């Protein structure tokens, strides 16, 4: 089966362009999994993480803050207001930026300054939530891999003591 052509574009740069197995996107109506041959759609995005499942295995995770997505016979195009690869995010630095943004919001005098400061703070908090979500998902995947390794071929847990006894 042919892969899905996917492009993720932000005002700053083209973040991804190529063939993929599937893409999970944070649609405003909920998470959507897009696979080759998906029905055409046009939807808006909420802040969240786009997960790109590559043809050869492996994934890329990219934080997006709003935008729109189109699926058509040629593939999937995602136009994001803001897009940042999760690998480029630093939690400690982000925490400091949030603190400064909260101070800026408290110091804002007029309506326009308050609006801009609140928007910046909202954006940074969405980034922080995406980092936490990515960490929890990574931890879940790690635990699931370890759990699968501990299972024998018959689906039952292998006990180390029983294995040691049989080796004697």
pLDDT in tens, 44-90: 998 888 999 999 888 999 988 889 999 999 999 999 988 888 888 77
pLDDT value at residue 144: 77
Helices marked H in the chain — which ranges?
A: 91-107, 111-149, 160-167
Look over the chain and give the mean of its residue pLDDT values, rounded to a whole number.
83
Q: Average pLDDT, stretch 130-154?
A: 70
Q: Give yes or no for residue 121 having a pLDDT over 90.
A: no
Contacts of 12 (CB under 8 A, 6+ apart): 83
pLDDT in tens, 84-119: 888 887 777 778 888 888 998 999 988 888 988 888
pLDDT value at residue 159: 53
């Amino acid at each position: 089966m042919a892969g899905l052509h996917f492009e993720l574009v932000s005002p700053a740069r083209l973040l991804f362009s190529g063939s993929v197995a599937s893409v999970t996107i944070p649609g405003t109506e909920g998470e959507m999994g897009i696979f080759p041959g998906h029905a055409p759609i046009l939807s808006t995005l909420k802040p969240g993480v786009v997960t790109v499942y590559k043809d050869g295995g492996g994934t890329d995770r990219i934080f997006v803050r709003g935008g729109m997505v189109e699926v058509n016979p040629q593939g999937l195009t995602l136009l994001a207001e803001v897009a940042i690869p999760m690998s480029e995010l630093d939690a400690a630095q982000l925490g400091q930026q949030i603190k400064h943004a909260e101070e800026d919001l408290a110091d804002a005098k007029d309506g326009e300054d308050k609006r801009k400061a609140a928007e910046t703070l909202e954006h940074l908090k969405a980034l922080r939530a995406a980092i936490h979500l990515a960490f929890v998902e990574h931890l879940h995947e790690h635990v699931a891999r370890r759990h699968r390794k501990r299972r024998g071929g018959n689906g039952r847990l292998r006990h180390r003591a029983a294995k040691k006894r049989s080796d004697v």
